[in-house]
Amino acid sequence: MITQASIENLKHRIDILEIISSYLELKRVGANYAANCPFHNEKSPSFMVSPSKGIFHCYGCGIGGDSIKFVMEYEKLSFVEAVEKIADMLNFTLEYDSKRVEKSEVLEKIASFYHTCLLDSRAMLEYLHNRGITDTLIAQWNLGFAPSYERHLTYINAHNLPTTELEKHGVLGKSEKNARPYARFSDRIIFPIHSASGKVVGFGGRSLRADAQAKYLNSPQGSLFNKSRLLYGYHLARQSIFASGRIIITEGYIDTIMLHKAGMTNAVATLGTALTKEHIPLLNKGDPEIILSYDGDKAGINAAFRASSLLAPLSKKGGVVIFPDGADPADMVASGRLEELKALFAKPAPFIEFCLQMIASKHNLANPLAKEDALKEIGAFSRTLSPLMQEEYAPFIADLLQIPLHLLKRTKSSARTASTHNTLPLIESSGDKLERLILRYMLEDEALLNRGLDFIDESIFLQYREAFHALCANDLHNKDLLAIALDPLPVCEGGFDAELRIFIQRFLESKLRTPGNSLETITTLRGKIAKLKQGELQPI
């Protein structure tokens, strides 16, 4: 088992914002951050994260907890698996007691095996050399070659690797017809894929055979590998991205490797899929300028449009570079066209302009009806932008479509509506605010809890009695306490006594209104209320 001391040390290293932002796009709301909850369907964000307290809570479905709890729920992992996952993300070494053998780095060993096989394969090395990839790059990127199943089996047996793990991560597969095992990446050049922290989490395989069903094959989706969240080469490009304030996104592994060869070490690649919303948290790290470096063919241009449509509403800096004559970055590096390449990267087309031009290019603007369709489509795109961007680009749109500027007034009106709709409100629990405020004070300071217990008990709480019990029992994972910890309540230093007096006074006044009180009870209650109004705390 993982030692408790190791788990505690890991918790001290965890930044909940870093963990959750690798899964969700978070937006700042006051001191906290908000997102649409990943655990239930919702249109307005009710999922809140507090960096200072290290907790999250959803006001919609009630789920909450710390970073480990989030990873458990999101990835459907056990506690131990979630701890190990976070440790991998943070490059933190866990300690295990004598009852547990430390986790074997199966994929790291398979990557090493593939690399050795590549060095023995003259044909595959020749292909890579012809593409401009040198032996130094092959070693730096740990490129490999997947041999036959028999050679896999020999290596697996020699190193006592668990076949269940290899099947789970897609290194091995089983035929649906006869359940016979096989090597999924057999006869392919291998590009190991790493997490942001540098751990091997999967593979991309490139076939050179003309009859291959798929030119590229990736590891299957799993707990480690999610191609919609990973970027090839990010672990090597990360420092350069932060230093330069710029990230170059290409379509392919070889494009990325060749750009690194040319000194553009801030290049990464998507994994055979389009850029998605799930990539945004990774792209948000360091807030770099984003350059989409896509091939100049039809598929590359369409992919650039989809990615730009995703990035433009987020007001991302950067733009699109489309290579002329269907070329790709790797071709230009290999042919020595470095100055031309640098000139292209120096003047990317801004995302918004690129999208507007792409939409307009789909319509015959000489035809009034087609122009009206273009205006409608551009209007729909414009409403995804911020009000400022809508205003700034109105003249550009009018010029692009050759229409009077006043025809865009409707778009501007829609922009104001969208602005109101997109403003994230401060979210808080719906229950009694004074009860929550008292609990919040006592939750944040144990000394205030002890002081409060001198004057109040559970009977004073009408809506949050269970939360009060949980606080007294130190059950800080109670869903109501988690919500209260994130509520934007007016907590201030030295304010507890004043709020407690109001709380007690309200309670005693309600008791005073209870029918059937004796004269003695009424006198006692009025005496306490008078002292409370004079600033003196009274027990209930």
Q: Assign 392 to helix, strand or coil.
A: helix
In this prediction, residue 143 carries a pLDDT of 98
In this prediction, residue 330 carries a pLDDT of 92
In this prediction, residue 268 carries a pLDDT of 97
Which of 244, 222, 257 minimizes the C-alpha distance to 331? 257
Mean pLDDT by 10 residues, the chain (540 residues): 86 90 87 89 89 90 93 86 87 72 72 97 96 96 97 94 90 84 95 88 93 88 83 93 94 95 96 83 86 87 92 93 85 92 94 96 92 92 88 93 80 50 65 93 89 92 93 87 88 87 94 90 93 90
End-to-end CA distance of the chain: 49
| Secondary structure tally for the chain: helices H, strands E | 25, 15
In this prediction, residue 488 carries a pLDDT of 85
In this prediction, residue 492 carries a pLDDT of 82
Query: Is there a contact between 335 and 358 (Cβ–Cβ < 8 Å)?
Result: no
- The rounded distance, in Å, linking the Cα atoms of 432 and 227 is 45
Q: Assign 232 to helix, strand or coil.
A: strand
- The rounded distance, in Å, linking the Cα atoms of 453 and 32 is 30
Domains and CATH numbers, the chain: 4-89 (3.90.580.10), 106-218 (3.90.980.10), 234-335 (3.40.1360.10), 362-422 (no CATH), 433-533 (1.10.860.10)
Query: Is there a contact between 145 and 116 (Cβ–Cβ < 8 Å)?
Result: no
In this prediction, residue 103 carries a pLDDT of 45
In this prediction, residue 425 carries a pLDDT of 63
Q: Assign 149 to helix, strand or coil.
A: helix
Amino acid identity for residue 465 in this structure? R
In this prediction, residue 100 carries a pLDDT of 44
Residue 56: its H or E element: strand 55-58
- The rounded distance, in Å, linking the Cα atoms of 355 and 320 is 10
Amino acid identity for residue 383 in this structure? R
Query: How far from the centroid of its chain's Cα atoms is residue 382's Cα?
Result: 25
